[in-house]
Amino acid sequence: MKALVTGGCGFIGSHVVRALVADGWDVTNLDKLTYASNLRNLDEIAGHPRYRLIEGDVCDPAVVERAVDGQDLVINFAAESHVDRSLLDPLVFVRTDIEGVVVLLEALRKRPNAAFVQMSTDEVFGTLPAPLEAAEDAPFNPSSPYSASKAAAELQVRAYAGTYGMAATVLRCCNVYGPNQHIEKFIPLFLTRAMRGESLPLYGDGRQEREWIYVSDLVSAVRLVVGQLPAGGGLQELHVGSGERRGNLDVAERICDIVERPRSLITPVADRPGHDRRYALDAGKLRAMGWRAEVPFETGIQLTAEWYRANPDVWGAAASAGFADYFREQYGERLSEPRPT
Ligand code: NAD
Ligand code: TDX
């Protein structure tokens, strides 16, 4: 069986590409190799006979047509994925996260035998007051340019499934963490800075809550879903949630403890504009299909810390691509004027 994985050089995509190759799939990875990509994430399978990389843009119809041709399955991970960057430069999010999906859908419309899986996010629902959990039919209420783009992409998938009867699955996942994640994201940023004894810029009061899933649990969800794709056309929506909900301050403190650095490194700074307070998914539908999250947060965060400690050459390869400039723009003023605790 043949699969096209887009964005396979990024965090989640790289884990899924390796898993599908291990499972016997013939995998083509279409990736634009943006700042967020890291070829080192795929060292393990470089040169594998059932793996090939196409450097290209999901917004380029000619490239996408060729890449989709002959595939049994297309899984779309290609995206601009960082909320903070969407506040600095929203247009690139509209292009890749919405237009890129429509280009993929157009190519797929002509190939009804290929199934489509779109990776989406709990952020499409916006902030949810406790104890609410979002089920698959919860209304969209996105807050950031990133989440608005992901919601718009989902609406396009819905439209194509409804109009053309295309077979499509939308996976909405909570916050993923683990090896290979770019150090712009909260957990790797805090881990790698804490290891060096650097300040940890915690947005606002740090009481925002996220639901955290270790990347291997998301991979097992993808494996299950691609093994049980519904026959025929139409839309399937599934939530990949772990139930492991934690406040950001608690996560930051745990990181300091694990890397044996003082909690005083945690520096409250100006909040992210429009910052959602809380996300929570109801993953009952996927659990009813036989899936379980296996890795508790406490285990996952230790494994993640060990990986970042042992692999500075791997994550450093991605971080070197302009990260210092981004960090200055995003955090320079915040860290020069930290908020009083
Ligand atoms: P990432 O930023 O680590 O990787 C994205 C990859 O896509 C990179 O390799 C990049 O080069 C590639 N890419 C970007 N623009 C492209 C384009 N125009 N054409 C082709 N390739 C392009 O992202 P991630 O964290 O692995 O997220 C993957 C997907 O999962 C995204 O759709 C994201 O919205 C979604 N998601 C992520 C999380 C999370 O916590 N990381 C949670 C829920 C959903
Ligand atoms: O420096 C920081 N300080 C801080 O307090 C950063 C980078 C983040 N935070 C907070 C903001 C969030 O409440 O930590 C939390 C997690 O932040 P991110 O890692 O930026 O993730 P988030 O905004 O929750 O989005 C992530 O999960 C959902 C992914 O980046 C998205 O792609 C995914 O859809």
Indicate if ligand 2 lies below 6 Å from the C-beta of 93. no
Q: Any idea which fold 2-177+213-240 has?
A: Rossmann fold (3.40.50)
Indicate if ligand 2 lies below 6 Å from the C-beta of 189. yes
- What pLDDT does 333 receive? 93
Q: At what angle do helices 215-227 and 11-22 cross, to 10 degrees?
A: 50
Retrieve residue 216's tokens.
């291997």
pLDDT surpassing 90 at residue 339: no
| Residue-wise pLDDT tens digits, 150-197 | 999 999 999 999 999 999 999 999 999 999 999 999 999 999 999 999
Peptide bond into 230 cis (omega under 30): no
Instruction: Report the candidate in 221, 204, 218, 212 with the shortest Cα–Cα distance to residue 279.
Output: 212
- What pLDDT does 317 receive? 79
- Ligand 1 residue neighbourhood (C-beta within 6 Å): 6-7, 9-13, 30-34, 36-37, 57-59, 77-79, 81, 96, 100, 119, 121, 150, 173, 175-176, 182
Indicate if ligand 2 lies below 6 Å from the C-beta of 201. yes
pLDDT band at 300 (very low <50, low <70, confident <90, very high): very high
Pairing of strands 26-31, 2-6: parallel
DSSP secondary structure, 50-73, as one string = TEEEEE--TT-HHHHHHHHTT-SE
Task: Give residues with Cβ within 8 angstroms of 107, minimum separation 6.
Answer: 61, 64, 65, 67, 68
For the annotated catalytic residues, the residue numbers are: 122-123, 146
| Residue-wise pLDDT tens digits, 240-298 | 999 999 999 999 999 999 999 999 999 999 999 999 999 999 999 999 999 999 999 99
Q: Phi/psi of residue 8, each to 5°?
A: -75, -10
Q: Which atom of ligand 2 is nearest to the CA of 81?
A: 32
pLDDT band at 230 (very low <50, low <70, confident <90, very high): confident
Distance of CA 23 from the midpoint of ligand 2 (Å)? 31
pLDDT surpassing 80 at residue 86: yes
Task: Give residues with Cβ within 8 angstroms of 57, minimum separation 6.
Answer: 32, 63, 96, 100
Residue bearing tokens 């916006």: 126
| Residue-wise pLDDT tens digits, 15-44 | 999 999 999 999 999 999 999 999 999 999
Which sequence spans correspond to the domains of the chain? 2-177+213-240
pTM for this entry: 0.98
- What pLDDT does 320 receive? 78
Task: State whether residue 158 is helix, strand or coil.
Answer: helix
DSSP designation for 39: G
Per cent of the chain over pLDDT 70 is 100
> What element of type H or E holds 117?
strand 115-121
Distance of CA 160 from the midpoint of ligand 2 (Å)? 30
Vertex 174 angle, CA 115 and 135, to 5°: 75
